[in-house]
Amino acid sequence: MRMWRLLWASAAALVSAGAQAETILFVGNSFTYGASSAAWHYRPDSVTDLNGEGVGGMPAIFKRLTEQAGLDYHVSLETAGGKDLAWHWANKAPMLDRHWDHVVLQDYSTLSQSNPGDPAELIENAPRFAAMFVRANPAVDISLDATWSRPDLTYPEGKPWHGRDIRAMAEDLRRGYDRAAAATSGVKRVLPVGEAFNAAIDAGIADPDPYDGISYGQVDLWTYDHYHASAHGYYLEALVAYAAITGRDPRAFGREEKAAADLGIAPDVAERLQQVAWETVEAKGRPVR
């Protein structure tokens, strides 16, 4: 198995050798830049933070994965904590208006800040970005990043998803992103990140309720605030992006995958998260058009 992985990486490197790097832009907020976790400032020198804030985040984990696969991606990100796509459009569009080969757009964690779960604002703003990116490159590959359920909005009383299963918020978000993707010419896929979190829970890898402690042998996909992801969660997000955008099977990395080691993720857990990411993309990451 080890020899097969080495041959796979070597072949991939030969294919990409001499080719021009593909460009990819990640636009989002703390759910992209990895707030409150080891991912936040992970390998910032490996990516281009267009805001100059020294962020690595999930895009840097994605970059680390592509390097190991012998792929050549120039990774850029434009992120701002607590902001939605409407804010990025109003404040950052001129900076982003250029040729990109790939773009990943991530909206506010509840879609609408005032009406959680309502995709109307995403449906309004995704087409603006898509039209701009398509004008610069008609062949641009655009993805929408459907994020995860928040325990802090599920378990405490009075919160929008209280009384429902922890998986429900991610499923609601996915439906909203699907509606936006269907309404947006140029969007190729929705990244099923929240559904990968759900699948990790279903597989017994992750504990569904961090408020009552983490069960032995399981991991917490969220950090201390039960809101942002942990290093495990951002690693899973990057694996989903890698699998969906490159079409490569992350299971080929196996126990020796370097980003997981850097982030303190146990080898057996890394393998299981790779499995979950691939199976979720295969089942839920269907192209929009």
Q: What digits encode the pLDDT tens for the residues 90-128?
A: 999 999 999 999 999 999 999 999 999 999 999 999 999
For the chain, percent of residues with pLDDT exceeding 70:
92
What pLDDT sits at residue 285? 85
- The dihedral over CA atoms of 243, 245, 246, 252, expressed in degrees to the nearest 10, equals -10
90's CB contacts (< 8 A; 6+ apart) are none
- At 182, list the tokens: 């269907």
pLDDT of 138 reads 98
CATH (residue range 20-284) = 3.40.50.1110
Which tokens go with 196?
């990968």
What is the C-alpha to C-alpha distance for residues 97 and 99, in angstroms, rounded to an integer? 7
Average pLDDT of the residues in 247-255: 98
pLDDT in tens, 175-195: 999 999 999 999 999 999 999
pLDDT of residue 19: 65
pTM (two decimals): 0.93
> What is the predicted pLDDT for the residue at 2?
47
Rounded mean pLDDT of the chain? 94
76 close to 24: Cβ distance less than 8 angstroms: yes
Predicted confidence at residue 16, as pLDDT, reads 43
**Domain limits of the chain?**
20-284
- 3-state SS of the chain is CHHHHHHHHHHHHHHHCCCCCEEEEEEECHHHHCCCCCCCCCCHHHCEECCCCCCCHHHHHHHHHHHHCCCCEEEEEEECCCCCHHHHHHHHHHHHCCCCCEEEECCCCCCCCCCCCCCHHHHHHHHHHHHHHHHHCCCCEEEEEECCCCHHHCCCCCCCCCCCCCHHHHHHHHHHHHHHHHCCCCEEEEEEHHHHHHHHHHCCCECCCHHHCCCCCCECCECCCCCCECHHHHHHHHHHHHHHHHCCCHHHCHHHCHHHHHCCCCHHHHHHHHHHHHHHHHHHCCECC
Q: At what angle do helices 231-246 and 267-284 cross, to 10 degrees?
A: 50
